[in-house]
C-alpha cells in the first residue's frame, strides 16, 4: 500500500515546476488529486497523462487564480463534494517580482503579496475546515529567500518572510485540531519561476539565470517534499545549498550580510523576452 493511498490531495499552482512534480509524485503514492492553476490547458495535459498511468485514481482539475476569492472557494467546495474531505493541501502557487526597491511600484508589491501571501491565506481558510475532519496535513511552499533577502528581490523575499511567519503561527493554532503544518523551503529547483516577469507572465524565450548544475530536478524535490508532508515535519529545506544557507543564517546572520556585500551578490533581474 502506498503512503497516500486513496487520500485526497489538493495542490495549487499545479501546472508547472514544483506543483506539477508534486502532482505526479502524489499520484505515484496512490492519492486522488485536485489540481488548481491559472493555465487550464496545462492542467488538462497533466491530468490526461496521470490518468493514463494511474487509471484507478480520481483527478479533478480547475482553472483557478488564487487571487480570486469566489472561484477558489467554489473549486474547493466542488472538489470536496465529488471526492470527500481533504487529507492534504499544498499551497504552492506563487511567482517572483524582481527589481530594486526604488524602481518597483507599490502596485508591484501589491501584486506580489496578492498571490504569494493572500493566495495562500485564501487556500488555508477555505481548506482547513475540511482538513479538521481528517486531521490532515497542510503544506505551504516558501523559499530560502524567506530567510535570506538579497538585493533585487525585496518584494519576493518579503512575501516569503511572511509565509514563514504564517506557518509558525499556523503550526501552533492548528496543532490542537490534529492538523500538521509543514513549511517547505526550496532553494534552486528546476521551474519556470525565473522566466516569469513582474506581472506573472511567462517569457518562454527568457534564459534561466541560474546554472542548471545548481538546480535540483523538480521530481527529486517533490519526492523530498511528499516525504516531509507524510512525516508531518514542521519544516523541510529542499536542496543542499539551501540547507547550508538557512543554517548559516540561523547561526551567523551577520556573516550572510558580509558575504553578500563582499561578493556583491545580487538577485536576478526581471526577464524581458
pLDDT tens digits for range 199-241: 767 666 567 677 777 889 999 999 999 999 999 999 999 999 9
What's the rounded mean pLDDT across residues 76-97? 97
Domains of the chain: 8-262 (3.40.50.720)
Output the pLDDT for position 207.
Answer: 72
Q: Roughly how many angstroms between the first and final C-alpha of the chain, as a whole number?
A: 47
Look up residue 217 and give its DSSP letter.
P
CB 51, CB 59: distance < 8 Å: yes
Q: Look up the pTM and report it.
A: 0.93
Q: Which three cell numbers stand for residue 165?
A: 511567519
Query: So which residues are the catalytic ones?
Result: 156
Q: What is the pLDDT of residue 268?
A: 62
Residue 61 DSSP class: E
The whole-number pLDDT of residue 140 equals: 98
pLDDT beyond 90 at 103:
yes
Measured distance CA(201)–CA(115) in Å, rounded: 13
pLDDT, position 192:
67
Q: Provide the total of helices (H) and of strands (E) in the chain, helices listed first.
A: 9, 7
pLDDT for residue 267 is more than 80: no
**Coil, helix or strand at residue 32:** strand
Q: Cβ(151)–Cβ(260) under 8 Å?
A: yes
Here the cell at position 66 is 488564487
Q: How much is the pLDDT for 206?
A: 62
What pLDDT, on the 0 to 100 scale, is given for residue 109? Answer: 97
Cα 174 to Cα 193: distance, rounded to the nearest angstrom: 30
Mean residue pLDDT across the chain: 92
- 145-157 confidence digits (pLDDT tens): 999 999 999 999 9
Q: Give mean pLDDT, residues 124-148.
A: 97
Q: What is the pLDDT of residue 143?
A: 96
pLDDT at position 25 over 90: yes
The pLDDT assigned to 147 comes to 96
Q: Is the pLDDT of residue 262 over 90?
A: no
Q: Which residues, at least 6 apart from 240, have a Cβ–Cβ distance to it below 8 Å? A: 187
Q: What is the pLDDT of residue 17?
A: 94
Determine the Cα–Cα distance for residues 183 and 140; give it in Å rounded to an integer.
5
Tell me the mean pLDDT in the region 103-113.
97
Amino acid at each position: 500500500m502506498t503512503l497516500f493511498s486513496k487520500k485526497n490531495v489538493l495542490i495549487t499552482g499545479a501546472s508547472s515546476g514544483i506543483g506539477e512534480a508534486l502532482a505526479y509524485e502524489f499520484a505515484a503514492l496512490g492519492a486522488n488529486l485536485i489540481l488548481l492553476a491559472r493555465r487550464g490547458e496545462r492542467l488538462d495535459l497533466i491530468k490526461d497523462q496521470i490518468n493514463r498511468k494511474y487509471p484507478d485514481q480520481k483527478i479533478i482539475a480547475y482553472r483557478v487564480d488564487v487571487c480570486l476569492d469566489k472561484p477558489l472557494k467554489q473549486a474547493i467546495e466542488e472538489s470536496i463534494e465529488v471526492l470527500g474531505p481533504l487529507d492534504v493541501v499544498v499551497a504552492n502557487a506563487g511567482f517572483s517580482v524582481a527589481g530594486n526597491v526604488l524602481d518597483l511600484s507599490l502596485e508591484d508589491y501589491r501584486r506580489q503579496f496578492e498571490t504569494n501571501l493572500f493566495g495562500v491565506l485564501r487556500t488555508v481558510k477555505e481548506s482547513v475546515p475540511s482538513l479538521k475532519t481528517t486531521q490532515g496535513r497542510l503544506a505551504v511552499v516558501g523559499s530560502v529567500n524567506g530567510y535570506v533577502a538579497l538585493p533585487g528581490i525585496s518584494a519576493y523575499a518579503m512575501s516569503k518572510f511572511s509565509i514563514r511567519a504564517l506557518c509558525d503561527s499556523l503550526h501552533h493554532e492548528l496543532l490542537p485540531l490534529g492538523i500538521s503544518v509543514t513549511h517547505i523551503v526550496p532553494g534552486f529547483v528546476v521551474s519556470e519561476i525565473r522566466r516569469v516577469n513582474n506581472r506573472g507572465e511567462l517569457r518562454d524565450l527568457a534564459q534561466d539565470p541560474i546554472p542548471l548544475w545548481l538546480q535540483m530536478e523538480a521530481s527529486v524535490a517533490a519526492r523530498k517534499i511528499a516525504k516531509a508532508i507524510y512525516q508531518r515535519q514542521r519544516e523541510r529545506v529542499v536542496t543542499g545549498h539551501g540547507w547550508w544557507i538557512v543554517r548559516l543564517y540561523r547561526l551567523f546572520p551577520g556573516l550572510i550580510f558580509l558575504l553578500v556585500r563582499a561578493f556583491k551578490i545580487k538577485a536576478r533581474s526581471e526577464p524581458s523576452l
